[in-house]
Amino acid sequence: MSVTIDGSTGITLPDSGALSTSIGDAINITSGYVSGIQLGGTAAANDLDDYEEGTWTPTVNSASGSLFKNSYIKIGKQVTVTAFFSSVSWNAGLNTVDNLPFSNGYGSASGFSATDTVVIQQATVDGTQIKFRAATSGTNKYLMFAATYILD
């Protein structure tokens, strides 16, 4: 079966095998023994074969605070996490956000506290946690983090 767009065959629906398009080969959804979506070509490097989203349970310095909202999205080896604590404490200097949903990754993070004059100086993802340096300590404060990292 074919779908015609502007006088040319745009999408072909075969009886078996892959759904494909002749308009720039932008998408190829396969069936049978191979599964996933291929973007920009049919090579293995173009496979979108892993997508997941959900929530995670982060802690700050191995202590729980009131967690307001948290989520993650994983596409292939890239993971993006967010966490918003409504009542948490941290120290001036080095701190950690633990329990990342996927471990063994490295990347960048950003942190923000909307209360007082807390300054997050540096934040990175290092293996299994977000490490951040704070200019001042905070007690029962709001703290928000976002991080994107690549899994090994």
Distant-in-sequence, close-in-space partners of 62: CB < 8 Å, separation ≥ 6? 96, 98
Same domain, 69 and 133: yes
Give percent helix, percent strand, percent coil of the chain, each to the nearest 5.
0, 60, 40
CA 60 to each of CA 33, 77, 91, 107: distance values in angstroms, whole numbers, following the listed order? 44, 25, 10, 18
Is 76 found in the same domain as 39? no
Q: Render each residue's pLDDT in the chain as its tens digit; 152 residues.
A: 555 555 565 555 566 555 555 555 555 555 554 556 777 777 777 777 788 999 998 888 866 678 878 999 999 899 999 998 888 888 888 889 889 999 888 998 888 877 655 667 788 898 889 998 888 787 888 888 899 999 98
Number of folded domains that form the chain: 2
Domain shared by 44 and 58, yes or no: no
Same domain (yes/no): 45, 57? no
Are 132 and 88 within one domain?
A: yes
The CATH number covering residue 73 comes to 2.60.40
Angle, CA 124 vertex, CA 50 and CA 135 arms, to 5°: 150
Look up residue 24 and give its DSSP letter.
Answer: T
What's the predicted TM-score (pTM) here? 0.70
Same domain, 59 and 12: no
Q: Which of 126, 147, 139 is nearest to 65 (CA)?
A: 139
| Pair (87, 144) in one structural domain | yes
Residues 143 and 118 both lie in one domain: yes
Are residue 72 and residue 139 in the same domain, yes or no?
yes
Within this chain, do residues 17 and 80 fall inside the same structural domain, yes or no? no
How long a stretch of residues is the chain?
A: 152
- 123 and 62 in one domain? yes
Per-residue confidence (pLDDT) for residue 138, from 0 to 100: 79
Residue 72: what pLDDT?
A: 96
Range of the domain at 11: 2-49
Buried b (16+ CB within 10 A) or exposed e, 59-88: bbeeeebebeebebebeeeebebbbbbeeb
